């Protein structure tokens, strides 16, 4: 049994997670609730999100606040953040987790599709940070965690708009870290390798893919959402108070 850390600095801290209804985001929501943080999340998937709130409440942990939102709609994201601020207080931790790795061929991409993929995979990360930064600054600081991906680093193909957006997360992280550092707002990115969410298992995990994973990862096991969520806890907490402008890879050592 894995015995995991407790982070006293996260207790009662207001944390906002995008795409928290399923996959890695749901595990982040669960882990932050288990730390007794005050957690709110947005997602486009109402039924998965409402089921998650119920499961967490049944466990006896403080239930998270769910606000439905399509993150491609920036005014809707801004009002979700304002609503959370009114209901829970100033946001001190932002986890920009939501994305969508829909496959697409070069020939199929139109200007509209390209913009839509950037809206799903990158644009909301900037506007969420913009919306929470003044409250974080007023509260003495905060932690912003952006989600990248190793897919563009390992030369994966089949979705050029997604890979381009994920590559840009590294630049966004460093740009925001520089500008927000004087307000004691830290900005890091977590860069997952292949993580076995329900969606990944259903859509992409094949016997051949599993063989490749076991060959290329130093660690000979499938990685799970909680492997990533536990790293998020560290970057969210005051235990990482001196870390900013970094991208931290969680991929089991994929080479």
In angstroms, the CA 230 to CA 218 distance is 19
By C-beta, is 34 or 77 nearer to ligand NAD? 77
Q: Which one of 7, 113, 162, 248 is the catalytic residue? A: 162
Q: Identify each DSSP E strand in 99-168 by its residue range.
A: 142-147
Is the Cβ–Cβ distance between 220 and 210 less than 8 Å? no
Buried/exposed 176-197: b ≥16 CB within 10 Å, e otherwise: bbeebeebebbbbbbbbbbbbb
**Closest approach of ligand NAD to the CB of residue 98, in Å:** 4
Angle at 185 between CA 182 and CA 187, to 5 degrees: 115
- Shortest Å distance, C-beta 11 to ligand NAD: 25
User: Would you say 97 or 173 has its CB closer to ligand NAD?
Assistant: 97
Tell me if residue 248 is catalytic. no
Residue whose tokens read 């799970």: 224
User: Min. distance of Cβ 162 from ligand NAD in angstroms?
Assistant: 8
Give me Rg for the CA atoms of the chain. 17
Question: Could you list the residues that contact ligand NAD (CB under 6 A)?
Answer: 19, 21-25, 42-45, 69-72, 97-101, 120, 147, 149, 151, 192, 194-195, 197, 199-200
**Minimal CB distance residue for ligand NAD:** 23
Quote the least distance from Cβ 8 to ligand NAD, whole Å.
Answer: 27
Which residue lies nearer to ligand NAD by CB, 37 or 120? 120
Which residue, 140 or 209, has its beta carbon nearer to ligand NAD? 209
Structural contact between residues 148 and 166, judged by C-beta atoms closer than 8 angstroms: yes
Residues noted as catalytic? 162
């Amino acid at each position: 049994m894995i015995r995991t850390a407790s982070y006293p600095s996260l207790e009662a801290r207001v944390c906002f997670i995008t795409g928290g209804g399923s996959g890695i985001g749901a595990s982040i929501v669960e882990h932050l609730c288990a730390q007794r943080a005050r957690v709110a999340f947005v997602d486009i998937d109402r039924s998965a999100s409402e089921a998650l709130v119920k499961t967490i409440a049944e466990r006896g942990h403080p239930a998270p606040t769910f606000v439905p939102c399509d993150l491609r709609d920036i005014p809707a994201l801004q009002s979700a953040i304002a609503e959370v601020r009114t209901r829970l207080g100033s946001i001190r931790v932002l986890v920009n987790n939501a994305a969508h790795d829909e496959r697409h061929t070069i020939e199929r991409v139109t200007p509209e599709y390209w913009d839509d993929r950037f809206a799903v995979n990158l644009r909301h990360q900037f506007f969420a940070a913009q919306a929470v930064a003044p409250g974080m600054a007023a509260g003495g600081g905060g932690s912003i965690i952006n989600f990248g991906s190793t897919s563009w680093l390992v030369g994966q193909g089949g979705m050029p708009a997604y890979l381009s957006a994920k590559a840009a997360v590294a630049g966004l992280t460093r740009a925001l870290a520089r500008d927000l550092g004087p307000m004691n707002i830290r900005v890091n990115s977590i860069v997952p390798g292949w993580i076995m969410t329900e969606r990944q298992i259903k859509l992409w995990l094949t016997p051949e893919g599993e063989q490749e994973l076991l060959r290329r990862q130093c660690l000979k096991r499938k990685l799970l959402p909680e492997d990533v969520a536990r790293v998020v806890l560290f970057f969210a907490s005051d235990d990482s108070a001196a870390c900013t402008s970094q991208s931290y890879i969680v991929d089991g050592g994929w080479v």
